[in-house]
A = this chain, B = another copy of it.
Amino acid sequence: MNVMNESPRRKELTRQAAQLFVQEGFDRTTVRMLAQEMGIKSGSLFHHFRDKQEILAAVIEEGTQNALVMAREALARCDSSADARLHAMARAHLETLLTDRNAHVVALYEWRRLDSEARAHLSHLRDAYEELWEQVIDEALAEGLIHGDRFLVSRFVMGALNWTVRWYDPAGPRTPDDLADELVAMITRRPA
């Protein structure tokens, strides 16, 4: 059994699972459906994953890990002005939400299906990501770019961004960067 390992095969299977989880939801996706999508029989699936739960955990871990890396890189790439960093975070957030859409939708919608140990492990990843946000929000508050409670503002911002998976159409006229800019413009107060 390949549990704990990070073989490329397993990664590919995880990617395919993510798509099915988005289409059908975790509970409605049977191991037989997963196996068929992967081109194998249902029994073979348990060579790669201990159980169905572990597939879910793998999907969510992938997505969250990527988001964290992308956000850190984006922050490292831009200058230190609060405005630039705010834009960078918003853009990175929407960028991952789009390119890694399946994994993120699963993370947002099926989090509650994780068993307690998987949840404990993944909570740390998610918290690390959210701390990045609060940090950037803090900087923007310190510069007077925005006002309000750091906790509430960061929650509102992440809510607005995460909600985009419900309505954003990548085929439409707006790019993720458009959305990011518009959101930042909405919450930053420039003299009228």
Contacts and interface: CB of A to CB of B under 8 A. Distances in A.
What DSSP secondary structure best describes chain A's contact surface? helix
A113 interface: yes
B149 A182 contact: yes
Contacts of A159: 159-164, 166
A1 interface: no
A170 interface: no
Given A162-B163, A163-B163, A191-B192, A186 B155 contact: no
A70 interface: no
Copies in the complex: 2
A174 B187 CA distance: 21
Contact of A160 (B28, B144, B160, B190): B160
Contacts of A148: 182, 185-186
A148 to B, nearest CB: 5
Contacts of A179: 152
Contacts of A185: 147-148
Closest 3 CB pairs of A and B: A159-B163, A27-B27, A156-B160
